[in-house]
Structure formats: structure tokens, C-alpha cells
Amino acid sequence: MDLTSVERDMLAGRDGPAKQRAMKGLVQLGRAFAAPRMVEIGYAHIHAGMALYLEDVELMEELAAIDARMVVPGESWRGAKSRQRTDCQYPQRLFGPRARP
């Protein structure tokens, strides 16, 4: 996987243990899907309704212990998948007004 110098620095731990842990997970996921590189993102969806397994709890405890924080806007709103609903105000506040076709 081709990483930028900034991504390599994060992976090496130069930006602290939380970013290093995140980069390790992202690189592992990228390699599993044969991704050639990382891509820019504007937000992250956190699935609040998923089942928690022991590994999930351990990961959350590890991230809390190293004071990990979100660095992109995140949301766990249940209706996030349905951006076409006209009564959904939260996505508009997060992303701005929808473009009209």
C-alpha cells in the first residue's frame, strides 16, 4: 500500500500512539482489500447499533487509555443511510444543503 510521508509518519508513531494505532488498523484493512492508497474522507459514520464482541470492547478500552479522539466529523445517527428523506435535518447541518437535481 502506497502511503504518503504524513501517513508513514503516523504509522511510525510520530504523531502519538492514538494515530499510530488508527493507521495500523487502516493499513491492515487497506491491504486486506488490496487498496493502492488511502483516500480523503469528509466524515465517518460510527455504527451505534452493532453488537459488541470482546475484541471491540478491548479496542475501545485501548483507545480510551491512549486518549484517542476523532479527527474528522463523525456521526452515529440512525437515519444517516437515508439521505433522501426530506425530514432529516442532521445531515444537512453536517454536510450543508443537498443539491437539487
SS (H, E, C) the chain: CECCHHHHHHHHCCCCHHHHHHHHHHHHHHHHCCCCECCCCCCEECCCCCCCCHHHHHHHHHHHHCCCCCCCCEECCHHHHCCCCCCCCHHHHHHCCCCCC
Q: Is the pLDDT of residue 79 over 60?
A: no
Looking at per-residue confidence, does 24 or 73 come out higher?
A: 24
pLDDT band at 96 (very low <50, low <70, confident <90, very high): very low
Cβ atoms of 98 and 83 closer than 8 Å: yes
State the residue for C-alpha cell 443539491.
Answer: 99
Looking at per-residue confidence, does 32 or 100 come out higher?
A: 32
| Predicted structure pTM score | 0.64
